Amino acid sequence: MITMKDVIKEGHPTLRKVAKEVTLPASQEDRDILQKMMDFLHNSQDPEIAEKFGLRPGVGLAAPQINVAKRMIAVLVSDQNENLYEYALFNPKIVSHSVEMTQLENGEGCLSVDRDVPGLVPRYARITVQGTTIEGEQISIRLRGLPAIVFQHEIDHLNGVMFYDRIEESKDPFMKPVPDAFR
Ligand SMILES: OCN(O)CCCc1ccccc1
Ligand code: NI
């Protein structure tokens, strides 16, 4: 069972690696890892189990976060219409995306980051993701809203990107730039 001690934290080099494609058909070992990642999400979202094992609730998990530098993600999240998106994928890839961008108004967090990092994280508003399921089926899914954001957060982990890498310097028009003299 995956618990928080298995989740590596920022500063660990694996979080900054580009994860390797999983050789398909996936080995039993890789299928077991991906299943355990999905089990973790379910456990982390179950108040009793989460409390019992000290799990931080998570809507997604990428294999590099448990120190496995392979392209595998698990997502367990509901959209605003309460449709549940439950996907465990090998080699997920964003094959197309909207020009339109979006962001969570309260920013993002990460199970590998034990601190609040304020700021908006720009994401594509809509994406199409292709990947292979644990059963070996190649699927293509169109996503928008929170599920789209979570998938982008997880796929970023496969490329060594952390959510705060995307937080822009404030473009707030009222944020007066500090004259160089005072930098
Ligand atoms: O990598 C997953 N993980 O760190 C859990 C948090 C997931 C997540 C949180 C906010 C917005 C998008 C995704
Ligand atoms: Ni994360």
pLDDT in tens, 174-183: 666 667 775 5
CA of 11 relative to ligand 1 center, distance in Å: 17
Q: Which of 124, 153, 156, 159 to mutate to test the pocket of ligand 1 (most atoms within 8 A of CB)?
A: 153
Residue 170: what pLDDT? 55
154 is catalytic: yes
Among 29, 108, 154, 169, the one annotated catalytic? 154
The CATH fold assigned to 13-169 is Peptide Deformylase (3.90.45)
CA of 26 relative to ligand 1 center, distance in Å: 25
Helical segments of the chain, H only: 28-44, 47-53, 145-158
Residue 10: what pLDDT? 97
CA of 150 relative to ligand 2 center, distance in Å: 9
**Binning pLDDT at 50, 70 and 90, where does residue 173 land?**
low
Q: Model-level pTM?
A: 0.92
Q: Which residues contact residue 129 at a Cβ distance below 8 angstroms, ignoring those fewer than 6 apart?
A: 89, 92, 93, 94, 95, 140, 141, 143, 151, 155
Q: How far is the C-alpha of 164 from the C-alpha of 110, rounded, in Å?
A: 10
Which comes out higher in pLDDT, residue 183 or 134?
134
* Closest ligand 1 atom number to CA of residue 157: 1
Cα angle 59-65-67, degrees, rounded to a multiple of 5: 150
Q: Tokens 């997604």 belong to which residue?
A: 60
Find out whether 12 is annotated in a ligand binding site: no
Q: Which of 14, 59, 124, 152 to mutate to test the pocket of ligand 1 (most atoms within 8 A of CB)?
A: 59
Find out whether 110 is annotated in a ligand binding site: yes
pLDDT over 80 (residue 150): yes
Tokens of residue 6, six digits: 């298995």
109 lines ligand 1 (CB under 6 A): yes
Give the end-to-end CA distance of the chain in Å, rounded to a whole number: 49
Percentage of the chain modeled with pLDDT above 70: 93
Kindly list the domain boundaries of the chain, sorted by start residue: 13-169
ipTM, two decimals, is 0.98
- As a whole number, mean pLDDT of residues 108-125 equals 97
